[in-house]
Amino acid sequence: MSLPILIVGASAAGVSAARTLRANGFSGDLVLIDADPNPPYERPPLSKRVLEEPDVTGAAFPLLTADQAQALQLELRLGQRVLRLDANALALTLAGGAILAGQAILLATGGKARRLALPGSDLAGVHVIRSLADAEALRAELKTAKAVAVIGGGLIGTEAAVAIARTGKPVAWIDGAQKPLAHIFPTAIADHLIAAHLEAGLTLHAGARIKQLVASDSSVSGARVSGVELEGGEVIAADVVILGVGMAPEDGLARAAGLEVDNGVHVDQAQRTSAPGVFAAGDVAAFIDEASGLLKRHEHWRAAEAQGAQAARAMLGLPLADAQTPWFWSDQGAHHVEMAGHRTGDALVRLGGQGPIVFELDGDRLAGVASVNEPNAVRIGLRLIQSGRSVDRAVLADPKADLLALLRVPA
């Protein structure tokens, strides 16, 4: 009897790998292990829908239903933590003492929310958002919160700040950068979103340097947070504080097993790690970016799904899929943001009917595209990027010009 394939992490990458294995004829045992006791769920709603809707649960956004798991003949081991990876023996030790041996192992362990090394960061009322339990605990405290502070100008921090403001709570949005979101999106996109969020009620503290999180009564054990003190002495009142300052890859298993690790588990194009038979995909996987030559991780749902599928194909000895053009989205209140491709610094802005569209150019070819509430422009931009054809800057810039016409021009 052959050994099973073991997948650690009921994530987008892990579930994608399981589906790809079955779709391509793998008929052996397949085991999916995750410390989270909840049935596999999508993570994007945690910083948005869960915070806005009082009764929504993970069942509203399943990543894998019980029926789907049964159809895949997938053994789910939920609420079980993996303590050790033996890369030489291709075996996992679980918290209960069980040892599982496999013919291949996929690490799809994702990441953990970063915490700031600040006085007061362990006070009651200070939250991160990474799991369903995190989001539900935060939502429970928001019911009675008088003032909320969100620290972080990235996607999670911004999405959470906007979602909470939509419930009517006063929200202070605090970021160390002079312009939140500008490290992710082109300037025109960041400017548009910031203006929209301020108009919707957020109070922005940009370029802020935080000294500490203040306790309501520092003499009481288990005291609750009451505010965020900046280095200049200003205290921003808040009885709930959210740390939306990014995530760190959950690479402890790989590191302890002696795999090559540096801000993520190193993988090749087939998602193979430095240990034969061990693969990694999703937020935990680090790879050499061909364009820049730098070690990178993609912390987005679509990339995780594609990497999980790639790992499955490699396990089965199938040809690898072509590299996908990077693409991701963010829902921030009424604003749907998408970005595909790469930023070049040669940005051309087109004012769409619903929001700006930014095209990133590399000579006469399109390298990247981003938009607010103009998803069709990103779809067309993706096709132009993938085709490699020359583009007419005048057509890109003219809001009355048909972008589809660029696809009809001979490559």
Per residue in 120-134, pLDDT tens? Answer: 999 999 999 999 999
Whether pLDDT at 217 is above 90:
no
Mean pLDDT to the nearest integer, 94-104: 97
Looking at domain 5-112+248-315, which CATH architecture does it have? 3-Layer(bba) Sandwich (3.50)
Structure tokens, 21 = 């294995």
pLDDT digits (tens, 9 = 90+) for 224-237: 999 999 999 999 99
- For CATH 3.50.50.60, list the domain ranges present in the chain: 5-112+248-315, 115-243
Whether pLDDT at 323 is above 90:
no
Q: Is 182 exposed, middle or buried (0-12, 13-18, 19+ CB in 10 A)?
A: middle
Whether pLDDT at 375 is above 60:
yes
Angle at 211 between CA 205 and CA 213, to 5 degrees: 85
Whether pLDDT at 219 is above 60:
no
Looking at domain 334-408, which CATH architecture does it have? 2-Layer Sandwich (3.30)
pLDDT digits (tens, 9 = 90+) for 330-360: 999 999 999 999 999 999 999 978 899 999 9
CB 347: neighbour CB atoms within 10 A?
Answer: 16
pLDDT digits (tens, 9 = 90+) for 275-318: 999 999 999 999 987 767 788 899 999 999 999 999 999 999 99
Whether pLDDT at 32 is above 60:
yes
SS3 78: strand
pTM for the full predicted model: 0.94
CA distances from 177 to 152, 183, 187, 355 (A): 9, 9, 13, 24
Going by C-beta distance under 8 Å and a sequence separation of 6 or more, which residues neighbour residue 386? 325
Looking at domain 115-243, which CATH architecture does it have? 3-Layer(bba) Sandwich (3.50)
- For CATH 3.30.390.30, list the domain ranges present in the chain: 334-408
- Element holding 381 (H helix, E strand): helix 375-387
